[in-house]
Amino acid sequence: MSNLINYDGITPSIPHSGETTDFEDALIKHDVIDKRQALGNKGMTEEQINSVLSLDASNLSPDATNYHTDLPSNSGSEFSDEDDDFIASYRSRRLAELEESSAEKARKNLNRFNGVDEISRDEWASAVNGVSEDGTWVVVNLEHSGNDDTKNVTECLKNLASRFGSVKFLRINYKAAIENWPESNLPTVFCYCEGELQKQMIGQEQTGGPLTTVQRLEWRLKRLGVLKESELEEDGKKVVKKSNVLKIDKLSRKGGVAMETWGDSDDEDVGND
């Protein structure tokens, strides 16, 4: 009676078997699933699966295990052409489902964020470092209520946020972000990825000049690798002078990384007027 179904729990359970069915063997044969997946679908634990696979590798009979393997073996089964056609059709449908699922996830990721949210200093760790840990780009603009350039950058970022939903755009008062940050360094835009500061643009020249445009800012973020989906092929302004601005070595709470600023490039002609 060892193979009776147990109804004592909330859901019925059946004894685990180290054997696979004809259908599972066919799926394994056609590389639709592997044996680990087949055993997992039976409800076996990771430890039980490893034991069965270990015995298989040692050419031992699964009957030596304690998983109620007194069921008949299907290892000698043969498959007809009709079986092969069915499995091939099943595999094609399964691959189509997986592709559709991946495409749906990609679409959701492209529309993951929207707008330019304002954050406080206390929210920085979670909203910036935390969100960017999975490879998401987080762009932070340091704002100053009395600086038209910083407010203009925010307006430009709002436009970009409506078109690049996979990037998170934020704004924060510059004094709240970094103590004693020089006002002369504004506008300042920090770009985080993988939990750390990766890129930065400091000053008017690096952000596209006085009262920069959406196109100039988009071009610079594309060049820095933040807006990979951007279709821009040129800038809206010609930069002929490098900016000699203060760099920061440690902003990330994880210790910071080497950072690339827009003015570091030797290319003087960023685009066309």
Q: Which of 209-217's residues contact partners 24+ apart within 8 Å by CB, and which partners?
A: 209/237, 209/239, 210/149, 211/148, 211/149, 211/152, 212/149, 212/152, 212/153, 212/156, 212/187, 212/237, 213/156, 213/237, 214/156, 214/159, 214/160, 217/153, 217/156, 217/157, 217/160
Q: What is the DSSP letter of 43?
A: T
pLDDT in tens, 113-138: 889 999 999 999 999 999 999 999 99
| pLDDT score of 104 | 58
pLDDT in tens, 170-213: 999 999 999 899 999 999 999 999 999 999 999 999 999 988 99
pLDDT in tens, 203-229: 999 999 988 999 999 999 999 999 988
How does DSSP assign 192-214, residue by residue?
Answer: EETTEEEEEEESHHHHTSTT--H
Average pLDDT, the chain: 74
pLDDT in tens, 26-42: 777 777 788 888 888 77
Q: Please tell me the pTM assigned to this model.
A: 0.53
